[in-house]
Structures are given as structure tokens and as C-alpha cells.
Structure 1
């Protein structure tokens, strides 16, 4: 009965969350939007590392970990982010709640596990203004956008030997991104607006290899290599040029013209999901503690969007370094609840690959979290604070703080009951 209630709440959560932008960042204008896929709340609370393969935990980023799965795991998560935006003259704050993921995984045999679900890969949600007071009359440009790219995924992991496991994930990518640019001239009744709409779809995969072996009687070594080849997203595009009236505070379209994108060879364009290679290494004691690090190389320098040309923007290869781990005081304690709690901590530094006005956009974050036992399941709460960008070169600096919550139901749902 509890599971049915949770499933119902989950469906309601998803229906509401997909209507949200999932981002308020001006940097979501670039590329495919602000990248949100960083794994489960457990992974994100440890700086985003995915090298640790648990027998009862979901691991989106590392499909080889499914080969170690022993229990059925149903998980759902949501988040809230507070964002402070600052340039050389102004500071503003905003907040946004979003759906994080919904997934189900289960073992098919002691060596084979499978998982599937839905996750947001990227989100677009920005509102920017630029006032040019050097012209007479003054000119105000407004830029806004929303949408994003989502993924339906299927993952399979297999334990080749006691120490080695392999895995693969196939993703179906789908979504829509809308961009609105308008110009308002002081004293002129009508404004002009350009509306660009893109419907996105595509398929991509990622592959993983894990190794887990003993260093000593108590210590275990964990290592992984995860590779996602470059993939192509098809973008079906539309563009309209409009004149609008905003006197009443509501947009009223006076005239609208559909641009002939076929003549411009822009009706259908290709966008690139960059290839990534991730190396992970860690060491830990079973049911006690773990510490590990990851280094990711992202070939975002190949990205190009011919449908939307942006001046003073360039893409270059990016990277991410993450360090994190967890600690459990005493996982089987009967006398102390807090001794059974999993305490997580991590940090990450990311070179996003976006370069504005010849200045790179980098992202640094510190995270921590708790894994709270709830009966035979777990409630995971994660926190992350960080900073992205800089106020130099006319850019925007973001300071963010996120709270993320996931519920993982554990059990042997598909085990056949036998009676003697």
C-alpha cells in the first residue's frame, strides 16, 4: 500500500516538475542548457563521484555497478536551488524547484542487473535584459528561454568475474528549447520579437568497466572507466518574426511572419552531445567508509549550433575533478539510530568548456549529505553550495545552494515465493 501511495505521489511530482524550467541560470542559454545530470543524490553528495559500486544502491553514471546489485531499488528525487546572480553593478536572487529522477533497478541473477528510468539531462531557464542608453531613443533588449533535454534510459550490468564487471546504458533523448529575443525602443508603441523553437531527439550510449578487489583483509580497492561516445541530437527548428504591443503588460501580436528555414538550410540541424571519458579510483572498508576521486574529460569543443549564432562565444574541451566519500559509524547498531546513518562529503571543480568574451566559465562546488535509514529503505538528503562564472569581462557570477532529497525503496520485489 505504501509503495502505491509513493508511486502516485511520484507521478504527480513528475507532471508538475516537467512544466518547470529546472534552471534560472543565464548560462543555461549556451549549449544544450545547464547540465543537470550528475547522478543520484548519493553521488552528488560526494562531489559527483560514481566509482563506488554498492550492492543496494542505484548508480546512473556507472552502469557496470548494476552487476553488483542484490536488491530491487526504486528511487525518486527532487531538488530546490537558491541562486544569487551578480554582475559589476547589480545583485539579484531567485529560486527554483525541480524533478531530479525516477528509476527502478533489480537483479536478474547474482551476476546480472538491469535498471531503467527518466532523468533530466539539461535545463534552459533564463531572463536577461540589456539597456543601451547611448542611443536616442533608448533601446532595451530582453532575452528569455525555457525547456531542456530529458532522457529515458535503460542500463545493464554484468559481473564477468568476482573482481570485474561491465555495463552499458542506452539513452533516448527528447525535449524542446524555446528562445525569445525582443527589442523595445523608447517611445515606440510596438516592439519586435524573434521566437526560435527547437524540438530535440536522439540516442546515445555510455559504457563502463569496474574493478573491485582486496588490498588487505579489511580494505577494498575500487576503480572504474566510463566512456560515452559523441552522439548527435536532431533539432527540428521554427522561427517567427513578430511585432507586439506590451502597453497592457500582456503581449499582443500585431503581425507574425514564419521565416523560411528550408531556404536557409536550417529547418533541421544537428547538435552534438560531447564524448566524455571518466577515470575513478577509491579505497574503503566494507560497510564503514570510502574515499575516492574522479577525473572526467569532456570534448565539448566540437559543439556547434548553426541555428543560433552567438557572438563572443567559443567552446573548448572541458574537464571535471571530483573528490568525495562516506562514513558509517556502525551500520548494524541497535542502540543508536545516528550510528546507522551514512555521512557523505565531497567537492568538485569543473571547467565547463564555455568561453565568453575570451574568459572561461568555471564551476566549483562543495557538497555533503545524509543517508537516513527508514525501515528497509533510505531517505537521502544532499546539500551543495558553489560558485560559477565571474563578474569580469561583463559577465555574471552565480552563487548557488541546492537541497536535494531522494527516497530509495529496497526489497526483493520480483522474487518468487515458495511454500513447503
Structure 2
């Protein structure tokens, strides 16, 4: 039943994942969009930890070595509702978006290994910004509107194996793809025609990750150390850009006039090595507490397809702390004792620096932090569960003519466990 349900959902939503608008953040204007955290809903509810987390029931997107611990066919589907408030020194605005976070399947291979495959967003683009130039008497001289849609996604597969007592190793490979559409419209006062700059870029690239976990017993506790390396890779970007003038029809439709240029463009975005390390301690199926630290050097760009004079990239880092607690996993008398309670904190320097003054020499680092809570609700007569995650966070600031985001994310996922497809049926 679970297998049939997952296949139906996979067919329905895999068609839509590449076309949905997943972001309304102004910061998705920069680069190839706002990066999407590559965590499950369960991991996000613990502040994003997971490099040192072992779990036989749930998927792990941070460390492919954790795939070795799967003991059931595990299906994961996650989605998010984001309530966003954007504020500047002059005002504020609210918006919301819904998005699919991932669909994935994990399978054990024998008693020592496991495999996982899935589809999830990598970056999201979804912004609409308006800028006015005022004269000496506060009359509007021109209006510029910036809009963008699209993003990138990845198809990935991961393999993990327990190679020695307590030591697991893993490998992950992924293919990143997507399209990004950016538009800038400028209308000047007392000028009949508006001018539009339009650029459509296609993004392609591969990604590879290595992972390791080591667990050892200290008295009655499990102490786990983990590390993951996302190897250096390049994204190729190709597309077209054009500038043309146009007028508006009474219906609001654009009527193109003269084209200034229409040409092909190309570029390359180099993604440096990303290192994630962490440690955790706990008791299996009872409680766990861990910390993760992630660091990455600055992105490098060849060609002028994504880099702008108002922003640049620097090294990024993230610190996460969190864990879970289960009062009594096999409780018969109390449903509440079988719930998994999760919590965590996340502090992040995104690596994006933005100059809101337009001078080119007053860059401000964009930081992000989140406070997380979550609940894993067991489904009746199954070892599967419905996961609910809540996050409150803030990104950016209003200093130097920038924008501050305050957001509240509501996340839902299904983690469904069933019989392993790779095991032979046994008949008594």
C-alpha cells in the first residue's frame, strides 16, 4: 500500500517541482537564487544537524554514510509553507509561498549497506522589486521594476556501507539543472516607450559528496562523529539576453518596438569545496544531541552572467545545534510518549555581501538564523510517522539601505517505512 501511494505521489509532484515558484525573498535576486537547505524536515526541525546522526527509520541528506543504517524501505516527502515579512527603512510588506522540499526513497542493501535516490530544489528565484528616482520637488523621474523566477533542482543518488566496527563510508552523486529568468523594466517620465532587459539562463552541473561516520560506545551512550565533503564542481550557464523598447496596450500587454540587441550569453560558476563536520551523543530511539559546523570558500564566476556590481560572494559558514527526545518508543498506554520531540538553533553567514548604497564600496554581510521546533507523530499501526516542523528566523538587516526578512516556516513531511523491495519473499 505504501509503495503504491508513494508512486502515485511521485508521478503527480515530480512534474510540478521544476515549475513552482518557491521563493518570494528579495535575496533570491543574487547569483542563481536563494539556496535551499538540503535537509529533511526532521533534520531541519533540529536546527539542520545530521552529519553525525544515525537513524534506521529516517533519511539523511547531509551525510551519505548514514544511508548504510537504513533497515526498511523508507519513503520521504516534504513540503513547506513560508510566511515572509520584508522590511526596509521606509516600510514593510508580507507574502507567503508554498513549495515542495523533496521526494526521496531509501533502500537497505543487505545488512551493511543502503541506497537512496531523490529529487529536491537547490536554489529558488522569486523576487519583485521596485525602485524610483525622485527629482528635487519629489516628482518621479523614472521607475525601475526587477522581477525574477525559476531556480535549480537536483536529481541525486547516495550509497553508504558499514566497512568496519562502527565505521561507515558513503558517496553521493547528483545532477543539477534549472532555468532562471530575470527581467528589468525601466519607464522614464514623459517618455512614451519603456525599456526592458530580459535574460534567460539555463544551469547545468554535477555534484559529488563523500561522507564518513564513526560510532563508539562510552558506557551506555552512543558517541558519533561525522564528516562530509561536497567536492569542488562547476555549473555551466548558457542562455540569451536582449534589450528592447515597448509600449503598453490598453489591456496591459507589452507591444515590442525596437530591439537594441539580442545575443547568446554563457558563463561558469565555480562551487568550492564544502566541509561539514559534527559530533553527537545519545541513546538509540531515546534521545540525541549534536552540533554541526559547515564552511565553504567564496563562489567564483567566469563571464558576466550572474555577477553584479552591487554584490559579491565571500566564504560562508553555518553552526547548528539540536536534537530529539522520545519518552518511550514502544509505549502501549500513551500515544504522547511515542511522539518524537525535536528542537534546534541555526546561525549562518550566507557568504553573500550586498552594497545597498550603490557606491560599490559599502558591502554588508547577509546573515541568517533560525529557531526550530518539531514533532514526529507516529501513524496508527505503523512504524512510519508524520513530521511537523516550525521555524522562526531573520535574515539580513535594514542597515545600509538593505532589507530585513522575518519569516515563519511551517513544514510537513511523511516518513514512510515498509518492506524492503530487494529482499526475497519467504514462504513458510
Aligned equivalents of 1:288, 1:26: Cα separation in 2: 41
1:389 aligned to 378, 396, 402, which one? 396
Alignment match, 1:220? 222
Aligned-partner Cα distance in 2 for 1:30–1:254: 27
Measured in 2, the distance between the counterparts of 1:309 and 1:156 equals: 35
Counterpart CA distance in 2 for 1:102 and 1:57 is 13
Match of 2:416 among 379, 404, 409: 409
Q: Distance in 2 between matches of 1:224 and 1:315?
A: 28
Counterparts of 1:61-210 in structure 2 under 5 Å?
Answer: 61-134=62-135, 138-210=141-213
Per-residue CA deviations over 1:214-262 (Å, capped at 9, x if unaligned) read 111x210011111111210111120011222235353323236384546
Query: SS at 1:339's partner residue?
Result: helix
Aligned-partner SS, 1:138:
strand
What corresponds to 1:58 in structure 2?
59
- For normalisation by structure 2, the TM-score amounts to 0.93
* Deviation of the 1:100 alpha carbon: 0.7
**Equivalent in the alignment of 2:244:** 242
> Displacement, 1:7?
3.1
- Number of aligned pairs? 415
What RMSD in Å do the two structures reach over aligned CA positions?
A: 1.7
Distance in 2, matches of 1:137 and 1:237, equals 34
**How many angstroms does 1:75 deviate by?**
1.0
**Shift in Å, 1:37:** 2.9
| Whole-Å separation in 2 of the counterparts to 1:307 and 1:27 | 17
1:285-327 CA distance string (max 9 Å, x none): 1211000001111112535662244223121101000000000
Aligned counterpart, 1:272 = 270
Residue 359 of structure 2 corresponds to: none
Report Cα offsets for 1:317-357 as digits up to 9, x if no partner.
Answer: 01000000000000010000110010000011000111112
Question: CA 1:307 to 1:5, structure 2 compared with 1: closer, same or farther past 3 Å?
Answer: same
Superposed displacement of residue 2, structure 1: 5.2
Alignment of 1:250-399 (within 5 A): 250-255=252-257, 257=259, 259=261, 261=263, 267-303=265-301, 306-357=304-355, 358-374=363-379, 375-399=382-406
Q: CA separation in 2, counterparts of 1:37 and 1:305?
A: 27
CA contact 2:326–2:338 (8 Å) conserved in 1: yes
Divergent runs of 4+, >4 A: none
Deviation of 1:10 (Å): 4.1
SS of equivalent to 2:123: strand
Partner Cα distance (1:82, 1:158) in 2: 40
Structure 2: runs of 5+ lacking an equivalent? 356-362
Counterpart contact for 2:266–2:303, Cα < 8 Å:
no
Q: Is the 8 A contact 1:141 1:182 kept in 2?
A: yes
Shift of residue 17 of structure 1? 4.3
Work out which of the residue numbers 414, 417, 427 in structure 2 matches 1:419: 427
In structure 1, C-alpha distance between the alignment counterparts of 2:322 and 2:296, rounded to whole Å: 20
Shift in CA distance, 188/368, structure 1 to aligned 2, threshold 3 Å: same
Deviation digits for residues 74-93 of structure 1 (CA, Å, limit 9, x no counterpart): 11111110000000011000
Shift of 1:153: 0.1
- Asked if 2 retains the 8 angstrom alpha-carbon contact of 1:40 and 1:59, the reply is yes
Does structure 2 retain, via aligned residues, the 8 Å contact 1:275–1:300?
no
Check conservation: 2:69, 2:113, Cα contact below 8 A: yes
Partner SS state of residue 9, structure 2: helix
Where 2:31 maps in the other structure, the secondary structure is coil
Cα distance change of structure 1 residues 74 and 243 upon mapping to structure 2, 3 Å threshold = same
Matched, 1:400 2:400: no
2:358 match: none
Sort the Cα spacing of 1:406 and 1:36 in 2 relative to 1 into closer, same or farther, 3 A: same
How far apart, in 2, do the equivalents of 1:389 and 1:305 lie?
27
1:47 corresponds to which residue? 47
